[in-house]
Amino acid sequence: MTTNADEFARAQGVMPGGVSSPVRAYRSVGGTPRFLVSGSGPYVTDVEGHRYVDLVGSWGPALLGHAHPAVVAAVQAAAAQGLGFGASTPGETDLAELVRDRVRRSGGGLVERLRLVSTGTEATMTAIRLARGATGRDLLVKFAGHYHGHSDGLLADAGSGIATLALPGSAGVPAPIAGQTLVVPYNDLATVRAVFEAHEGRIAAVIIEAAAANMGVVAPSQGFDAALASLTHEHGALLILDEVLTGFRVGPAGWWGIDPVPFTPDLVTFGKVVGGGLPLAAVGGPARLMDQLAPLGPVYQAGTLSGNPIAVAAGLATLRAADDEVYRRIDTVATALADATSAALTAAGVVHAVSRAGSLFSIAFRATAPRDYDEARDQESFRYAPFFHAMLDAGVSLPPSVFEAWFVSAAHDDEAVARVLDALPAAALAAAAATPAQR
Ligand SMILES: Cc1ncc(COP(=O)(O)O)c(C=O)c1O
């Protein structure tokens, strides 16, 4: 029988770091990544036959749990009809209508038109190009610690001053491209205002995670998104709301539907849940903006695999199954797990805070929940690796980084929750015993 270590060694021989996406390599927690062979409901199984309660959830898409029967049946039926045609299919329109209607019902704004793409990265890239095309401006504002995919302009790091243009955040990103992005602290409207004033008439758009969940979970402060929308519009720029992670996960449409202060973004990006676990994402907005995309307008965007019928079938089946009961269950499970984790850490004497945005949550090893990227980084993150490994040894697969949200699904039944709860006390003790040098 093969082992995780064998598979990791084999993969490293032929793939950089042995992975197709960096976080899977366990670099921030150390140890051997689990090579998975199957998933069912709340569980995943590795090549050694170990079964884990999964709190990674494919990084978000697995809203209904793994291999949900309705989604699998829809995918099988679609595959039997052909894997893709590079031509339009009725399912794409069904999905676009479903998204439009769910957003409308949630009290959200206008998703009159939707362009289907294959990844969240593509969705945000397209939204930004559209915003630039529509405004005739070049600069983009993004928030430190927010992740919108790996396109060049979005891998920009903050420079030394808030009104300065950003530096490349990755080798291979040309400075002039990073220099089109201004990086500002999250939840800090005064700085956004200052940046608009310093670059009057030059900012095309502000892009923001609807609720930040890629530096651990950091919710917007009360009314922040709404105030940001007003400020952005005052300066003739567009607000791009990135719901790739939150969309159809934190509620029937996304964060947009549950933010306590309503607001209207201009463009919205979706990914993850909207594709039901297959490569599908989307950018949406009002017709007056979206119709500037080719073939109607001058902003070019295209994709061989865009709107792939199997991915569309998975997305449709997932959204059709994602009823109020699904969201109730996810909220219940998230609360149970967040509360129990906090109780176990408290009992072990570990300073921590639970950070929540709807059903998304993460644990920060600091006294208060972080409000921005500086605070998110200012924590005893060395406590996470031993905590993570103790949970893994006890059969619970957490995200392999303290800066990721924990994803629950509607399939996390009482038995799966109980397994997590059983594992927590020993993991909390491991976190308590951690020292900075330890990994
Ligand atoms: C908020 C957000 N936007 C965009 C992306 C990029 O999506 P993808 O990984 O599908 O390219 C992610 C991925 O995690 C995300 O969380």
Tell me, in angstroms, the distance from the centre of ligand 1 to residue 415's CA.
31
| Residue 214 CB–ligand 1 contact under 6 Å | yes
Label residue 6 left, alpha or beta by phi (over 0 means left) and psi (-120 to 50 means alpha): alpha
Q: Which of 147, 209, 246 to mutate to test the pocket of ligand 1 (most atoms within 8 A of CB)?
A: 147
The answer for residues whose C-beta is within 8 angstroms of residue 54's C-beta and 6 or more apart is 39, 42, 43, 44, 62, 66, 397, 409
130-188 confidence digits (pLDDT tens)? 999 999 999 999 999 999 999 999 988 876 666 667 788 899 999 999 999 999 999 99
Query: For position 87, what pLDDT does the model report?
Result: 97
CA distance 183 to 413: 41
Tell me, in angstroms, the distance from the centre of ligand 1 to residue 125's CA.
11
313: its two tokens? 């079938």
95-110 confidence digits (pLDDT tens)? 999 999 999 988 766 8
pTM of the predicted structure, to 2 decimals: 0.97
Query: For position 160, what pLDDT does the model report?
Result: 61
pLDDT-based confidence at residue 364 (cuts at 50, 70, 90): very high
pLDDT-based confidence at residue 51 (cuts at 50, 70, 90): very high
- Cβ contact 121:242 at 8 Å: no
pLDDT-based confidence at residue 47 (cuts at 50, 70, 90): very high
| Residue 271 CB–ligand 1 contact under 6 Å | yes
The burial class, CB within 10 Å (0-12 / 13-18 / 19+), for 249 is buried
CA distance 7 to 70: 31
205: its two tokens? 């758009």
Terminal CA-CA length for the chain: 29
The answer for residues whose C-beta is within 8 angstroms of residue 196's C-beta and 6 or more apart is 141, 203, 231, 234, 235, 237
286-295 confidence digits (pLDDT tens)? 999 999 999 9
Structural domains of the chain, with CATH:
4-63+324-433 (3.90.1150.10), 71-321 (3.40.640.10)
- Dihedral pair phi/psi, residue 186, rounded to 5°: -70, 150
Tell me, in angstroms, the distance from the centre of ligand 1 to residue 349's CA.
35
- Dihedral pair phi/psi, residue 340, rounded to 5°: -70, -35
Bridge partner list, 141: 182, 206
- Cβ contact 117:303 at 8 Å: yes
317: its two tokens? 């089946």
Q: Point out the residues that are catalytic.
A: 147, 242, 272
